Chain A
Amino acid sequence: MKTTLPRELPLVLALVLVFGLLALVAPEFFDRKPLMSRFAQEAPVLIVAAGTSLVIIVRQIDISVGSQFAVSGIVAGMLASYGAGVATCAAGALGAGLLMGAINGLCVATLRLPSIVVTLATMVIWREALRLTQQGQFINLPSGFQWFGLTLESGQMIQISAALALFSLLAWFASNVSAGRFIYAVGSDAEAARLSGIPPRITTFAAFVLLGGLCGIAAFMNALQTPQVDPKSGTGLEMKVIAASVVGGIAINGGRGRLWGAFLGLLLLTTISPALTYLHVEAYWEKAVQGSIILLAVIAETIRTRRV
């Protein structure tokens, strides 16, 4: 089966359409300030989306990312409220994320349990444990914490560029480094990968740990954006990042898709709701439109592969 068109083509066309329409009808959409704050808000999501894409490429799934995100954020917030510095908080969030990722990875790779059920269980366990300890209480951050104590504008700029840099690094890693190619190899055929000397279990484990760590980093970034840490943050994050990956052309059966596709997918999904407002469609249609985009993306994908 030869395919000549890139798998992200329908997505690029949709993005061109949406942005073109916005430029014509509502040029104020491209105003600097609201656009910046919108992108800064999505910067942590982008990081999680990259990790989720890698886990999907290795032919697993993780629906516990929202809970990992919330727990890591609270860990960072608690450290900050005890007077720890920014670096310690970042390390704490990262460590918490890595640990939770390792637990998922152990269950899936070592004990060979199905990832959807394992992460369903850990999602519930982390979320409820957080509710038990926090009882819905927000954690107030010290005053110098928000945006590293910088102005809003430069803080947003730093976050957006940091997220883009990390994302580019991961995308480069996945497509150019041999360890990144292992992920594709295991995702497309674990047995063939094993026979060619790639350890499928370690690769799968590493993908989950990486995702956990990325959740930690994202949660830390998210905590910097507000004066308080919300224990309910990250609710529904798993659906959002899986949707971004799928819209971005990452095959749910593993082994295929590019990280930049997930970037474009997230861009489309997050542009849709402000776009609806600017185009004078009621905002209540947001979820319905997002759902339709997911369905259209998978339909477009099958049409593309079956046509050739």
Chain B
Amino acid sequence: MRTALRPTLVRHEVILAAVLLIEWFYFYFTATSEKRGITFGFGALDSQFDLLRHSVEIGLLALAVTPIILTGGIDLSLGSTLGLCSIVFGKLWQDAGAPLWLAGLLTIVVGGLAGTINAGLIAKLRLPPLIVTLGTFSLFRGLAEALTRGTATYTGFPSSFLLLGQGRIAGLPTQGWLYLLVTIVIWLLIHRTVFGRTLRAIGFSSEGARYAGIPVNRRIAAVYVFAGIIAALAGIIYTSRLGQAKADAGTGYELYAITAVVLGGTSIFGGTGSVHGTILGVAAIAVLTKGLVYARQPQEVGGILTGALLLLALLASTFAKSTFYRTRTAKTLTAPPQPKLP
């Protein structure tokens, strides 16, 4: 049921933050060991940085898809866009001999173009986003494979570039700073600007938003183009972290990103949700999967628990909403109009 009403008792994000803290402390106390004053396992600083490095790319995609889901859309093509951008970056640098800054800039443009294709089909032609992005999911991955003939990878990047994915600035992994920057920008955009409010309005009721004078198509187009640009950035970071550009980069990332967004309390039907929820969702999944590895549990358990957590989060938010909905507004909203007798 689509509703803009918030659950009254506790906000979704607060529960999720509590889950995240419990997870973190559980692994901190069970999966950390100390030898001669050096910490090993989950609690070690290096492990925490490793966790951050691994969650940045999925985190960026999740941040990119949050505004899209807020408008009631979806984007399955972001993982493929990431792969395509990784290849384009490698090809520009190695085959075309472009300097790194130019290759990066052009890659961002390519990501924007990929987003523009989605935007054009969804906003201009009014095609369903699920199908359009399913099509571009194949198309972009296919282009990446065609560009590399399925096998070629690009390696041998200079160490100045690898600093982005493997080095540190001021103590934190370099991409962590970028992640923070993008998070702040998107948070401000969604929660503190009129633009962000119009996205929720569109997700809640696109027809109503149109009557309120919101340029619905332009707004929808903007979020898809924006998502393409962020996916390109994630592609460059991926390339730098692995020191390798390859066509299968980011396979399946779109689903992880969507999982994190929904776990973070954003409604898949649009209208409600938050950026900090998404960040918490990404972190909860990352801590769970990485923590289990440090706790010497099979990696697959992390996947199973993530799926279960997603179902639970969904159930919790649905029940919180439907209880509220039933008690306060059931009569006025669900009673069908009675026909008048002559």
* A interface residues (Cβ-Cβ under 8 A, vs B): 61, 107, 111-114, 116-118, 120-125, 127-129, 131-132, 239, 242-243, 246, 252-253, 282-292, 294-295, 298-299, 302
Contact = CB atoms under 8 A, between A and B. Distances in A.
Using C-beta atoms within 8 Å of the partner chain, give the interface range for chain B: 35 or more
Given A118-B311, A284-B146, A285-B146, A129 B300 contact: yes
Interface in B249-280: 255, 258-259, 262, 268-269
A295 B132 contact: yes
B130 interface: yes
B138 A121 contact: no
A124 B142 contact: no
B138 A290 contact: yes
A284 B149 contact: yes
Nearest to A281: B146
A283 B139 CA distance: 14
B303 A292 contact: no
B131 interface: yes
Given A239-B137, A292-B135, A125 B304 contact: yes
Given A295-B132, A295-B136, A131 B315 contact: no
Q: B148, B268, B302: which has the most chain A beta carbons within 10 Å?
A: B268
Given A116-B268, A253-B128, 10 more contacts: A112-B318, A116-B74, A116-B130, A124-B255, A124-B307, A239-B134, A246-B134, A288-B143, A290-B142, A294-B135
B314 interface: yes
B150 A294 contact: no
Q: B121, B302, B310: which has the most chain A beta carbons within 10 Å?
A: B310
Contacts of A243: 134-135, 138
B270 to A, nearest CB: 11
Contacts of B315: 111, 113
Contacts of B307: 121-125, 128
A287 B127 contact: no
Contacts of B18: none
A241 B51 CA distance: 35
A246 to B, nearest CB: 5
B306 interface: yes
B308 interface: yes
Contacts of B150: 283-284
B134 A121 contact: no
Contacts of B208: none
B125 interface: yes
Contacts of B303: 124-125, 127-128, 131
A191 B255 CA distance: 31
Interface of B: 1, 74, 121, 125-128, 130-132, 134-143, 145-146, 148-150, 255, 258-259, 262, 268-269, 298, 300-304, 306-308, 310-311, 314-315, 318
B139 A295 contact: yes
A297 to B, nearest CB: 8
15 contacts: A117-B268, A117-B310, A120-B259, A121-B314, A123-B255, A124-B304, A124-B306, A132-B300, A132-B304, A239-B137, A284-B145, A285-B146, A292-B135, A294-B138, A298-B132
A295 B142 contact: no
Given A120-B310, A299-B125, A291 B300 contact: no
B168 to A, nearest CB: 32
B303 to A, nearest CB: 3
A287 B306 CA distance: 29
Given A117-B314, A120-B259, A289 B149 contact: no
Given A127-B303, A291-B138, A299-B121, A121 B310 contact: yes
A302 B310 CA distance: 35
Nearest to B322: A112
Nearest to A238: B134
B145 A287 contact: yes
B128 to A, nearest CB: 5
Given A243-B138, A298-B131, A121 B146 contact: no
Nearest to B268: A114
Given A120-B259, A124-B303, A239 B121 contact: no
B249 to A, nearest CB: 15
B141 A287 contact: yes
Contacts of A61: 130
Nearest to B147: A284
A114 B15 CA distance: 21
Contacts of B255: 120, 123-124
A242 B138 CA distance: 12
A294 B146 contact: no
B277 to A, nearest CB: 15
Nearest to A63: B255
A11 to B, nearest CB: 15
Contacts of A127: 303
Which 8 A-B pairs give the minimum distances between C-beta atoms? A288-B142, A291-B139, A287-B142, A291-B138, A128-B303, A294-B135, A125-B307, A132-B300
Contacts of A294: 131, 134-135, 138
B128 A298 contact: yes
Contact of B314 (A118, A129, A295, A298): A118
A113 B310 CA distance: 11
Nearest to A253: B128
A291 B301 contact: no
Given A118-B311, A120-B255, A252-B128, A131 B134 contact: no
Contacts of B142: 284-291
A117 B262 contact: yes
B280 to A, nearest CB: 17
Contacts of B138: 239, 243, 287-288, 290-291, 294
